Structure 1
């Protein structure tokens, strides 16, 4: 790989930037207008018209019946797992190649992650690896999936759509249904991504999205739960609003709840961002195409959307030849004010999860040593 040519090309893509960030937010629409309206209304906390409007618009965009706004994607995933009946002592299958939030949400409940390999094509949970793990280590008993090695119930499965590229979520859904496992999608990175013309986050019982400062659209923080189940949606709103029974003045709470509701201020930002989402996605696809053409000439593997998918290209990525080239590239680019990042360290290699049960993880290990994210922000 020619590092100098790569840095020059990236700088051509972002000509006005002395420092090229990995994914910088863009606020070119009605953000200030809606924020001022929100401030003038004095409804700046978790009650206000923008929260309701955002929930309506995001549900409509992804094709879900209900959406519940939360303070961030981690809280959305935490509540989704609780609503999927994950409890203390249960186990949850997920992928080792993911952001820490996936495993944090599992751990908040007192459940344990079990790590299954990813596909090289999607970098998301592999249905073949999932099925192989279940066949080798689990039994179906009384409508539950039991881990023969630990005796614990595997209550849920959390695949993640890595960098916005959809995993083979329909196959995963079929396997989960056959094994009595709740499917909860970690769609934090995949707003605007589709698999077989269906938006990510709509294949499982529940899904979580994130609107952190580096996402396609952002409210600084923020997340949401989506579901087609009215009962779960109502319970999600109840749990995220400190489980307070609605009343004009009394404070009565009927269960342990969480202060997880998105403030109206953040929702005002998101409503404005949603108005620009289609343009953002078009810009990101154009950027990915430019990168693909450039790296093809360099004979470098640029990560493109998987078959049958339409990816949002949240974070663009290249796959380098080995860990040595990866580290040299990271040093070269970051020393020249072009922000690049390696893929996350595998979850099973972190201190907190070093004793977690794992399937065979060849693909995840191979990718960990080679994947680098490159600047991916909207340029317009």
Structure 2
């Protein structure tokens, strides 16, 4: 239950993705993870776990399972900058964690992102991100690399925004609480114990399947953007026939879920308009 960018790097390596469904947290199910490891044709080499919409996955249970099985953990923390679990930053539990600075993220440089984790792995990634250039005066290459870099200007823009990261998280969480108060008819994404997500997007489920599409259309008529939840990866045409350990959880959420307008610049009048339209189309 995530975006395609979580899976593409697996394919770039020539590896085969195996999909594992969510549980009541909306994030990866530890129980289904155990089932997937036990029943996959080959033992997985790594697990990519997403902190969906900036809310923490069950990292204690997940990391314990992977440690027992000697499986590396990589965190897709693209949406989770500023979130914590047990006082530890989301994206710092695994061997590597990746954050996104896309235009719609809580901190943005218009694109690109940040990789954190084990020093040796980060240095290797930095080497490949700069065309795998060897440390010579001339241009020397023993391997091929990529151009996965932010410019100095964009890096400066992102660094400056770090000073207001906490303010943005507080504002995002305030927006979530307002929606939760004004729309008790909806089921909002939960927050697991001892965590503080950044509530990057306020997301919720309608009781009736398909009701979210009616609301999205009504909002669009008023030039207000909203979106369905992520379409699960095992339902994507590109992964037709892929091995997936599911119990219908993410499929159900996709059929009922919405991402509500959550921008930190949204004023009270704009918020009231959104709530009014949602209520009128329940």
Does 2:148 align with 1:260? Answer: yes
- Higher mean Cα deviation, 160-169 or 287-296? 287-296
Question: Who is 1:244 aligned against?
Answer: 133
Does 2:94 align with 1:198? Answer: no
Q: Gapped runs of 5+ residues in structure 1?
A: 1-96, 138-146
Residue 132 of structure 1 and its aligned partner are, at CA, apart by 2.1
Aligned pairs (5 A) from 1:60-209: 97-121=1-25, 123-135=26-38, 137=39, 147-148=40-41, 152-209=42-99
The alignment of Structure 1 onto Structure 2 pairs a total of residues equal to 266
Q: In the alignment, which of 276, 287, 292 is matched to residue 180 of structure 2?
A: 292
- What is the CA deviation profile of residues 191-230 of structure 1, one whole-angstrom value per residue up to 9, with x for unaligned ones? 0111111111111111110000000010000201101x22
Q: Gapped runs of 5+ residues in structure 2?
A: 267-282
TM-score, normalising length: structure 1: 0.68
Q: SS at 2:212's partner residue? A: helix
Q: SS at 1:208's partner residue? A: strand
Residue 120 of structure 1 and its aligned partner are, at CA, apart by 2.1
Question: Who is 1:230 aligned against?
Answer: 119
Q: SS at 2:45's partner residue? A: strand
Q: Distance in 2 between matches of 1:288 and 1:130?
A: 29
Q: SS at 2:243's partner residue? A: coil
Structure number with larger C-alpha Rg: 1
- Kept in 2, the 8 Å contact 1:116–1:126? The answer is yes
Q: Distance in 2 between matches of 1:233 and 1:338?
A: 40
Q: Distance in 1 between matches of 2:211 and 2:243?
A: 31
Does 2:110 align with 1:220? Answer: yes
- Kept in 2, the 8 Å contact 1:116–1:361? The answer is no
Question: Who is 2:261 aligned against?
Answer: 375
- Kept in 2, the 8 Å contact 1:295–1:302? The answer is no
Question: Who is 1:336 aligned against?
Answer: 222
Q: SS at 2:17's partner residue? A: strand
TM-score, normalising length: structure 2: 0.90
Residue 153 of structure 1 and its aligned partner are, at CA, apart by 4.3
- Kept in 2, the 8 Å contact 1:195–1:308? The answer is yes
The one of the two structures with greater contact order (alpha-carbon pairs below 8 A, sep at least 6) is 1
- What is the CA deviation profile of residues 310-366 of structure 1, one whole-angstrom value per residue up to 9, with x for unaligned ones? 010001011101322122111111111121100121111112111110112311111
Q: Distance in 2 between matches of 1:163 and 1:342?
A: 12
